Chains A and B, each alone.
Chain A
Amino acid sequence: MAREAREARVRPMTSFGELYERYAPMVHGILIAMVAPHEAQDLAQDVFVRAFEKIGTLADPERVGPWLAAIARNAGRDALRAAAARGRPAPLQDDVAADRGRTSAGEVAAGEAEDVAAEARAALAALRSLPEAYRETLAMRLVEGLAGPEIARRTGLTPGSVRVNLTRGMKLLRERLGLGREEAP
């Protein structure tokens, strides 16, 4: 394909309203499976800025989802490395601090709120303890609310892979949270 045509095909991907709307939940899902919630939100923005800078390197417009996912994973890893270098607490400890702040601001009304927040932190921590493929897919499903087919469409994974990741990841998550669903024979 002529270079001009290739460029014309790639550069218009800078329609970021469209990209952001479609892929931000996927990007955030990947990040929140790695870093603290408040950091995930900031990093999600960074990912789209990085994508903007590197848009010319995307050869196949149909692979924009996997491409953004790779940028998100790299951003998450960079953040973890930077946090480790600074001796900052692990993401979950950050979560605790963030949730305490959130609780004191908006959920003071009931002591139950702290219980729920603690349960949410535990669930997020358990999710983060899963293998990468499982935790990312489950974060997109349970945190971002994407259905399996949507996850497949955005990540570029086959629906079969996504479904396996969801079911096996959920099985592990149930075990780690001590949930008691009976498995089908």
Chain B
Amino acid sequence: MNEHDGDVDVGVDATAGDDRYLWDRSGPADPEVARLEALLGRYRLASGPAPAGARAPARRGAREAAAPRFPFLAAAAAVLVAAGLAAWLGPRAATTTPERRGAGPGPAYEVLAVAGDVRIRPASAGPASADRARAGDVIETDAASRARVVVGDIGEVLVLERSRVRLVDCGAEQHRMDLERGAIRASIFAEPRVFQVGTPAAIAVDLGCVYELSVDAEGGTLLAVELGRVSFEIGGRKVYVPSGAVCRADPRRGPGLPVWTDAAPALRAAVRDLEAGAAALAACLDAATDRDTLTLWHLLDRLAVAADRGRVFDRLSAIASPPEGVTRDGCVRGDRAELDAWKERLARDW
């Protein structure tokens, strides 16, 4: 029995009757709980975006127009951001040995060797400039080296050993690099979609903030998100990968299904089989627990056969009732609005 199954037993049977409404608002509404929600909701923290100054560090020109809701916090956070970022970036490493190259026009990223020798291969000849890389340049590490790339004012990318990264766009409004081999750890504070990493199998679109990408010799990509969320995309397909989840992408098939890192081995195996083209839908549905709505929703979104989508809908709806307006017919038909509405509801728990 999984943890969630146990929870249901505890909540419903052992303690206080049918408390599903108290637990997750499923089941019949408990009028006393509803009354207390209405009464105590007056004390709720006002919803809205984070205080502007606490979005660290803001891009140039971004959000200045909006007055911070909490001026004190904004000011304090701004100071802390500056201090924290300075400490974070630390002194420039003396061991960096980039090729001397031209200081061409356009924005550049600072590149620091945090271990070993890091090579910066320029896109073209030009005046010499140390420790900086521009669009078109390639950053390479070997078995003993790592590089820290300061991505404008929005964060950093740690290029791990045996990796090659080609900078595509170092602009003020858009940042894009391609991971051709190896692995990186991206730590980005930008607005969603400002920073993107291409791989042979998919594009990782940063929705903020910490994730690791690795590319194997065949171009297969593994994305692991530690905090925040990433949209893993290719063509029109988007896979939403939140904190605590991983997703593999294949150069021929694109991103697969996201799975929690602590998902049951049986589910992970079934997902791998499914992505390899095996008939593993039943195994996937059997292995999914109440927590695996992330995988199940993407499965529902992915499958081409209506009957299969119906099976996934039934399994998913048994875990989490679809919101009003989301129907079995619509989901089986692939209605984008209904699927997205359900995802939006489910994502509150992702």
Contacts and interface: CB of A to CB of B under 8 A. Distances in A.
Contacts of A55: 84
A45 interface: yes
Interface residues of B, number: 65
Contact of B43 (A11, A18, A124, A141): A124
B148 A160 contact: no
A69 interface: no
A167 interface: yes
A99 to B, nearest CB: 9
B338 interface: no
B227 A120 contact: no
B50 A62 contact: no
Nearest to A12: B187
A49 B88 CA distance: 17
Interface in A80-117: 116-117
A62 B225 CA distance: 11
B115 A167 contact: no
Contacts of A162: 7
A87 B158 CA distance: 52
Interface in A110-161: 116-117, 119-120, 123-124, 127, 139, 141-145, 147-150, 153, 158-160
Contacts of B17: 183-184
A117 B46 CA distance: 18
Contacts of B50: 16-21, 24
A170 interface: yes
B56 interface: yes
Interface string B114-128: 110000000000000
Interface residues of A, number: 69
B10 interface: yes
B257 interface: no
B3 A159 contact: yes
Interface in B10-27: 10-11, 15-19, 22-25
A57 interface: no
Contacts of B10: 160, 163-164, 167
Interface string B190-210: 000000000000000000111
A12 B39 contact: no
A40 B44 CA distance: 10
Given A15-B209, A18-B228, A116-B39, A153 B349 contact: yes
Nearest to A149: B349
Contacts of A45: 51, 70, 72-73
Contacts of A139: 40
Given A8-B185, A20-B50, A52 B77 contact: yes
Contacts of B19: 163, 166-167, 170
A68 interface: no
Of B4, B24, B46, most A-chain CB atoms within 10 Å: B24
A18 B209 contact: yes
B227 A14 contact: no
Contacts of B105: none
* Chain B CB within 10 A, most for which of A2, A15, A53: A15
B80 interface: yes
B226 interface: yes
Given A12-B155, A12-B227, A15-B208, A119 B114 contact: no
Interface stretch (B28-36, B132-140, B168-176, B302-310): B28-36
Given A2-B115, A8-B158, A64-B227, A184 B16 contact: yes
19 contacts: A4-B158, A8-B148, A15-B189, A20-B50, A21-B49, A41-B45, A48-B73, A52-B76, A62-B226, A116-B39, A117-B42, A124-B40, A142-B40, A145-B37, A148-B24, A163-B7, A167-B10, A170-B33, A183-B17
Interface of B: 3-4, 6-8, 10-11, 15-19, 22-25, 30, 32-33, 36-37, 39-46, 49-51, 54-56, 70, 72-73, 76-77, 80-81, 84-85, 88, 114-115, 146, 148, 155-156, 158, 185, 187-189, 208-210, 226-228, 244, 348-349
Interface of A: 2, 4-5, 7-9, 11-21, 24-25, 28, 32, 37, 40-41, 44-45, 48-49, 52-53, 55, 61-62, 64, 116-117, 119-120, 123-124, 127, 139, 141-145, 147-150, 153, 158-160, 162-164, 166-168, 170-171, 173-174, 179, 181, 183-184
Task: Give me the 3 closest cross-chain CB pairs, A-B, nearest first.
Answer: A184-B17, A12-B187, A20-B50
